[in-house]
Structure 1
Amino acid sequence: MRTVGKVLIILLAIVGLIVVALGGLAWYAASHIDVADTFRDPLPERVVLHLPFDRAFTEGEASLALSGFGPSSLSVRQVVAALDRAADDPRVVAVVASVGESGRGMGQTQELRAAIDRFRQSGKPAVAFADTLGEGQTGTVDYYLASAFSEVWMQPSGLLGLTGFGIEVPFAREALESLGVDAEYGTRHEYKNALDSAVRQTMSDEHRQSLQDLLGSFEDQVVQGVAAARGLKTDAVRGILNGPPLFAAEAQAAGLLTNLGYWDQVLAQVGGLSKGAEPVALARYAELEPLTGPDDAPTIALIRVAGTIQRGTTDPSPFGAAESTGGDTAAKALRKAIDDPLVRAIVLRIDSPGGSYVASDTIWREVMRARERKLPIIASMGDVAASGGYFAAMGADRIIAQPGTITGSIGVFALKPVLSGVWDKLNVNWDRVESGDHALLWSPNRAFTPAEQAWFDRMLDTIYADFTTKVGQSRGLDAGQIDRVARGRIFTGTQAMDLGLVDSLGGLDTAVLEAKTAAGIAEDMVVRVAPYPEPKTGFEALREMFGGEEAPVAIGTLLRLGGLLAPLTGEFDRMGVATRGPALLAPPGVRSSP
C-alpha cells in the first residue's frame, strides 16, 4: 500500500475480523468448557504445597476462569487465605516456594511474609528455594520474602543480591525542547514530582530528599525483618546491604542461607521430612474453597480500588485483574454495600497511585456517606495508596497500611503539552476558528494566554485546597500539621502512621479484623467477606465483551475511528506521504491528577 489511508483501512478491517473471531471462540468456550472441573479432584491425604513466589500476584481476583490455569492469575488474597487454611489443614504437611525476581512491591511482600509466619507457627516446615536472586538486578525484596521461611535454599552457582534499593529517573527537558515540544504545567507543591522527567533536566533537591527518605525507610524495614528472621544483628545485615552481591557459599556463611542445593535436592529433602506426601500446586489448593465464607455468616463488603483512578467505569479486563478503577464503578459498589441491610461493615482495599481528581472525589463522597449511615468503613492499603489513592482512603473510619506501603503524595499536578514548536519544524500550520475566547484552552497547538495561565493556577490552588482541607477534617490535623504531610510528599506506611495519616499497620486480614470490631462482631466469629460488585465468572466477562453490549460498542468505535481518520489520511494522500506502515499523528490530551 502506498498511502497511510489505505493501510489504516486494512488495519481496521483486520482488527474487526480478530474481534469477531475471538468473540466466536470465547462463546464456544463458554458453552462447552467448565474450567472449574480442573480443580474438583480431591486432594491426596498428605500434600506439600508448591508456592509460585517467583512472580507477583494480582491485587484482585481475575474474572476469567481460563486464567486459573496459571499461577500468575492468583490474587494476594487467595494466596494468603490458602496459606492460613493450610496451617490448620492436617492434609498439608509442608510448603515449598520457588522464589525469584518477581517485581512485587514492599506492601505485597509484607503481606506474604506475615502469612508465611502464621503458617510456620503451626510447626510445619516452610522451605524457600531460589536458583539465584539478583542476577543483573537487585534481589533485596525477593530475599526479604524468602528470609521469612524456616529454610532458605539456593543453587550453588547462584548470587544473592541483597544490595539495598535504588531508583534511576530520566530527565528529558532538553531532548523534548530539541524536538520542539514544550508544556504548560503546574504542581502543588515542590514535592509533587510526577512531571519532573518531562519539565526538568536534573533532579530537584526536594525530589531527591523525598526518594532518599522513602528508600531509607524501606531499607530499615528489610534490615530489621531479615535480622529477626535469620537471627542476625542488624549492623551485620546493613553491612551486607552496603556490599556487592554475595556468592551462594558466602551468603550461607553469612547466615542468610540455610542450605546450598538444587531443586531436586530440595524436593528430596522435603519429601524425606513428609514421607508419602504428594506435591500440589497452590492454585489448585486455593480453588478448593470459596473466599467469601458461609452465606449465613455476617457480611463484610470488600470493595477494591486498584490501578489508575479514572472517571467513568472500570475498563473490563477478563484476562486478569483490572488495571484501572472507574470512579463511577467504585461509587456504585459503595452505594450497593451501603444500601444492603446484610452488610455490617465495609473494607475498602486500595492499591492505586492515584489518577483523576474528580473520580477520586466521587469515591470519597461515597466513603463519607457510609460514615453518615454509621456503617463502619475501614481502608486497607496495598503496595501503594498515594495521591488520588489516599484521597479515596482518607475519609474512612480507620486506615490500615503495610509498613512498606507508599502513600501520601497529597498534592496535584496538571500538564498541557504544547506542540507548536513541532509543527514549526514540520512546516505545518494550524489555523483556528472559535466562538469563545477560551474554546481552545486545552489545545496542544498553542500556549496559554495570560488570562488562561491565571485560571490554570487558580484551578491547581482550588484542587489543592480541597484535598488538604479534607485531609485535615478526616484526620484531625491542623494547618501546620497538614503542611508537614502535604505539598506532594510521599511516605512509607510506617512514616505515615507516625505523621497521623495512617492508624495502624497490617494487611487485609488486619482490616477485616478491625471491621469486625467496629461492627460489633466477635473476633473469633466467621464472617462472609463478599466482593462488591460480585465478580463475574470468566465466561460472563467474555460474553459481555464479545457477545453482549461491548461487541457493538467495539465495532462502532472502529467505524467512528475510521471516519475520524478520513480527513487526516486524505490530507496525507494529497501531500503524497507514503509509509511502510500505519502512521497516526494524534496530539496527547491534558493530564490532571491529584
Structure 2
Amino acid sequence: MQNVWKTIYRVFKYSIRTLYLIRTVTINILFIIFIIISIGIYLNLSDSSTASLSKHTALILDLSGIIVDKPVTYGKFHKFSQHLLNTNRSNTKENSLFDIINILRQAKNDPCITGLILSLKNFSGSNQASLEYIGKVLREFKDAGKLIYAISDYYNQSQYFLASYANKIYLTPHGFVDLRGISTNKLYYKSLLNNLKINTHIFRVGTYKSAVEPFIQDQMSDHVRHEEKQLINRLWNQYLKIISINRNITRQEIFPGINKILDGLYQMQGDTAAYALKNKWIDEIASHFFIENTMKKIFGSNKEGTSFNAISMYDYNVITPIEKNNQIAIICVNGPIVDGPDIPGAIGGDTIANKIRSARFNPKVKAIVLRVNSPGGSVNAAELIRLELIAIRNAGKPVVVSMGGIAASGGYWISTPANAIIASNSTITGSIGIFGIVNTFEKSLDSIGIHNDGVGTSPIANISITTPLPTEYINMMQLYVNTSYHYFISTVATSRCKTIEDIQKIAQGHVWLGYDAIKNGLIDTIGDLDDAINKATELAHLTEYQLNWYEDKVNWIDVILQQTNKVVYTIIINLLNHYVSLTNFNENIKTNNPNILNFSWNDPKHCYALDLDYLMQL
C-alpha cells in the first residue's frame, strides 16, 4: 500500500513540475516575442523619424494595393506588422487616402524633397472620386515648382489616371497603356434559387432600386440597364476629360474607340509602347537602365551608388501636429452599414453612433466632418447614426458631410442632418429607396424528405426559414418597407427644404453622380474633404484648428492576427490569379457579388437602404 502512495505521489509531483515547466516556457516565449516586437517597433518608428534626407531627394509614390478612406487596421502597429509579416507590398494592402494626401502635402513643402516619382506597378486602384482628390494634390505639388515623373512597365486605368498628372511619363519598350472603358457586371440568381427550390420574398419601393434584381431575374431589366449605361458613360467622360486636360490632347486622342485602337496597333505591328507614344499617351519609351541614369542626373546617386536619392512613401515620416483646443472631428463611414458594432468588411451603426456621441461630449471638438463612402445598409443602423448627428447639431456643433466615391441609399440617409453636403463630380449618390429580402427553404427541405409542422397562437408566431411566409407577415413586411420609404422621402424633403413631391421625382432608387445631384438639390457643393473641412471651420467660426481623426484603437495582438489573415488571403488570391484576372479590380464598377453574399443581413425589420450594385466601388 505504501508503494502505491509513493507512486501516486511521484506522478503528482512530476505532473506539477511538468505543468510548471510548460507554464514557465510559455511565459518566457511570449515575453521574448513581446520584447522582439517592442524592439522592432522602436527601431522601425525611430528609424523613420530620425532618417535624414539628402538635399535632392525624390519621394517615390510606390503605391501597393488599393486606396480606401479607412483601412481595416489603422495606426503605427499596422505599419510595423506589415514589415514583420512581409505584407507591405501585398496587392491586398489597404492605403489610407488621407495618409497619401498628408504625405504629398508635407513633401510639397519639404525642401529636401525636390521631385516625385510615380511608381504604380503594384497599385490595384480606387474609386474615381479618390483618384481625383489625389490628382488635385499632385497638381499642387507641380504648382510648387517640383517635377513629377511616372515610371512603369504598363499602366492600367487607375494607374494611368494618376500618371497623367506627371510632367513626364516613361514606359519601357514592351510596355502598354491599358485603357478599356468602364463597365458594370453582376451575377443573377433567379434560376439558381429556383433549382435549389428556395423561395425568395422581395419587398421594395422604387422603380430603380435594382439591388434586388439578382434574386428575382436572370438578367438586367431595361430601365436599370438604361440608368447604368448613362451612369458609366458620364463617369467615363469625366475620366477622359481630366486626362485630356492633363495631357493637353483631345478626348478622341485619348480613347478613339476600340476599332481605331486596333487599327492603330496593326499599323504599329502590335508595338503597344510605340502606339502609346504616337498617341501622346506617354512622353518617352526607355529602359529601366536609361531611366535610372536619368533620375541619377536629376536627384543624384545614393550613398551606395546603386540608385538615385529617393525615399518610399511608406518610409517618409509625417510630422504629427501639436494638439490644439479647437478640433474638427473626422469620422469615417467606410463600407456597408450593419446593425450593431463593426464586423469585418462592414461598419456598425452602434460604432459610428458612439463616435459621434463621443465627439458631442468632447469640449475640444467644435465641429464634425462625416466622411461617407458607403452604399448604405440596415435602415435601423442608418437611423441610429442620423439621430446622433441631429443630437450633435442641436448641441451647437455644425455637421458637414464629405461624400467619397459612393454615398447612396443608407449612405445618403445618414447625410441628411448635415448643415452642408459636399461631393465630388464622380460621387455616386441618391438611390433613395428601400427593400427587404426574406429567403425560406421549405421546398428545398421537402425535396429531400424533411417536413416542418407545428402550431402557434397566431399566424406569425413562428416565422422561420423552414416554413412558408404567412400572408399576414408578407403584408406586414411590405408595410414596413413602404413606411420606411415614406419616412426616407419625408426626411430628405425636410432636410433639403423641398416638398415630398419634389423628392419623389428624383427618388425611386434613382442613382445620381455628383454634378447631377447638385442640380437636383441633393447636395450643396462640388468639392472634396478639404472643402468640407473649410466649410466646417466657417460654420464653427474657427481661425485655427486641428483635425481629430476618430479612428478605431487596436492592440498589437489584433494587428498581428489581422495581418496573418491577410497573408493567408494573399496566398488564396495568388492561386485564384491563375484563373481570374484581378488587373482591373477597381477600375470598373464591379458588382460581383462576394459582397452580396458576405453582407450581414441583420436589420431587425429586414429593411435595407442599400445599393448592392456599387459595393465594389469601395
TM-score higher than 0.5 here? yes
Is 1:377 the equivalent of 2:399? yes
User: What whole-Å deviation, never above 9, does each CA across 1:457-498 have from its counterpart, x for those lacking one?
Assistant: 101101101111111111122233212321111122222122
**Which of the residues 334, 338, 343 maps onto 2:356?**
334
Q: Alignment partner for residue 288 of structure 1, among 303, 306, 318?
A: 318
Large movers: runs of 4+ above 4 Å: 23-33, 240-246, 540-545, 587-591
- SS for the counterpart of 2:59 is strand
Structure 1 residue 28: Cα displacement = 6.4
1:272 is displaced (CA, Å) by 1.8
Q: Secondary structure at the match of 1:57?
A: strand
Q: Distance in 1 between matches of 2:458 and 2:561?
A: 42
170, 177, 196: which one pairs with 2:213? 196
CA distance in structure 1 between the aligned counterparts of 2:340 and 2:601, rounded to whole angstroms: 20
Residues 410, 468 of structure 1: 8 Å contact kept: yes
Is residue 65–residue 95 contact of structure 2 (8 Å, CA) maintained in 1? no
Alpha carbons of structure 1 residues 588 and 380: separation in structure 2 relative to 1, 3 Å: closer
State the one-letter code of the partner of 1:67.
H
Report Cα offsets for 1:32-91 as digits up to 9, x if no partner.
542523423323133211112353223225335343132635311010011011111111
* Contact 1:355/1:593 (8 A) holds in 2: yes
1:125 Cα deviation after fit: 1.1
Does 2:495 match 1:484? Answer: no
1:278 to 300, 309, 329: 309
Equivalent in the alignment of 1:345 = 367
1:266 aligned onto 2:291: yes
Distance of 2:350 and 2:400 partners within structure 1? 20
Distance (Å, rounded) in 1 between the aligned partners of 2:602 and 2:546: 43
Give the corresponding residue for 1:39. 48
1:451 aligns with 2:476: no
CA drift of 1:30 comes to 5.9
Does the 8 Å CA contact 1:417/1:588 hold for their aligned counterparts? no
Gap regions ≥5 residues in structure 2 = 1-25, 266-271, 302-307, 563-599, 610-618
Cα distance in structure 2, aligned partners of 1:250 and 1:235: 15
Match of 2:327 in 1: 299
Distance 1:502 1:263, change over 3 A: farther
1:311 pairs with one of 339, 360, 376 = 339
TM-score of the pair, normalised by structure 1: 0.81
From the superposition, tell whether residues 202 and 531 of structure 1 become closer, same or farther in structure 2 (CA, over 3 Å).
Answer: same
Query: Which of 90-99 and 143-152 deviates more?
Result: 143-152
Question: Runs of 5+ in structure 1 lacking a partner?
Answer: 1-19, 134-138, 316-321, 546-586
Q: Secondary structure of 1:43's partner?
A: coil
Contact 1:27/1:542 (<8 A) preserved: no
Sequence identity (%): 24
Aligned ranges 1:171-186 → 2 under 5 Å: 171-186=188-203
What is the CA-CA distance between 1:407 and the residue it aligns to?
1.4
Q: Residue 452 of structure 1: CA displacement? A: 1.5
Distance 1:480 1:24, change over 3 A: farther
Q: In 1, distance between residues paired with 2:283 and 2:325?
A: 43
Change over 3 Å in CA distance of 1:405–1:82 after alignment to 2: same
CA contact (8 A) 2:169 2:282 kept: yes
1:212 matched to 2:243: no
Helix, strand or coil: the match of 1:185?
A: strand
Name the stretch that deviates more: 235-244 or 66-75: 235-244
1:167 equivalenced with 2:192 (yes/no): no
SS at match of 2:445: helix
Report the aligned-residue RMSD: 2.7
Length, aligned pairs only: 514
The answer as to 2:66 corresponding to 1:52 is no
Which protein is bigger by CA-based radius of gyration?
Answer: 2
- 1:366-405 aligned at under 5 Å gives the runs 366-405=388-427
Aligned match for 2:162, one of 141, 145, 149: 145
Displacement after TM superposition at 1:446 (Å): 2.5
Could you say what secondary structure the match of 2:282 adopts?
Answer: coil
* Contact kept in structure 1, 2:379 and 2:410, CA below 8 Å: yes
Q: Is the 8 A contact 1:184 1:447 kept in 2?
A: no
Deviation, 1:182, is 2.1
- Three-state SS of the structure 2 residue aligned to 1:53 is coil
CA drift of 1:94 comes to 0.9
Cα deviation for residue 378 of structure 1 reads 0.8
Distance 1:32 1:531, change over 3 A: same
Distance 2:601 2:389 in 1: 33
Structure 2: distance between partners of 1:446 and 1:261: 67
SS in 1 for 2:62: strand
1:548 corresponding residue in structure 2: none
- Contact 2:370–2:402 (Cα < 8 Å) also in 1: yes
- The alignment partner of 1:294 has SS state of coil
Matched, 1:103 2:120: no
Aligned ranges for residues 316-327 of structure 1 at < 5 Å?
A: 323-327=345-349
2:409/2:430 contact within 8 Å kept: yes
The residue aligned with 1:65 is: 76
Q: Distance in 2 between matches of 1:149 and 1:298?
A: 37
Question: After superposition, where does 1:348-359 map in structure 2 within 5 Å?
Answer: 348-359=370-381
Q: What SS does the corresponding residue of 1:384 show, helix, strand or coil?
A: strand
Residue 508 (str. 1) matches residue 518 (str. 2): no
Q: 1:27 to 1:448 in 2, by over 3 A?
A: farther
- SS of the aligned residue for 2:58 comes to strand
Counterpart CA distance in 2 for 1:259 and 1:440 is 70
Q: Match for residue 575 of structure 1?
A: none
Q: Amino acid of the residue matched to residue 493 of structure 2?
A: G
